[in-house]
Amino acid sequence: MRMRNERSVRAVFGMLGLAVLMTVGSGTVASAAISDCPAGYSCLWEDSNYKTNGYDWDSANFQLYHTNFRYWDGFYSHPHVNDKVSSLYNNGRVSTAWYYVNSGFSGSFFLLARGSGDGDLGNSIGNAPGGFNDELSSACFSDWC
């Protein structure tokens, strides 16, 4: 599948942090769920395919960083996302986003370039590597880590 190949290539670049190269073609993966992620935010959903309990609008979103998903206190409030994120999207305006399995930007991590996401952390297909499903506890855009 064309889209799957694009996403695999982008995953490799994402791991290298080459955000500048990531903008080409980012619009081709847009879906109704991703479009619910506000511009300038990274959005996190409990389930795969950019949904929480079947609702694509029900995401936890951060604008600069979030040090501990256990205490989600932003404007876009969501209490259940710690260790439950299964899909996510970086709709930031500028930079790569970093996602960590532990609070305080520690532990294993991966990167998503601006304008990219991963619809299922439960597999290693897409922009995020495998092994991160239901594990994430903090995240930041690269200027704020």
Residues 21-60, mask of contacts with Ca ion (x by CB under 5 A)? -------------------------x--------------
Of 145, 131, 134, which Cα lies nearest the Cα of 92?
145
For residues 96 and 104, the answer to whether their CB atoms sit within 8 Å is no
83 binds Ca ion (CB under 5 A): yes
Span interacting with Ca ion, options 32-40, 57-65, 112-120, 126-134, rule CB under 5 A: 126-134
Q: Find all residues with CB under 8 Å of 37, minimum gap 6, and list them.
A: 43, 50, 59, 61, 89, 91
137 binds Ca ion (CB under 5 A): yes
**Rounded Cα gap, residues 4 and 48, in angstroms:** 16
By beta-carbon proximity to Ca ion, the closer residue of 134 and 143 is 134
By beta-carbon proximity to Ca ion, the closer residue of 17 and 122 is 122
DSSP 27: G
Task: Name the site residues for Ca ion (rule: CB under 5 A).
Answer: 46, 83-84, 86, 101, 134-135, 137
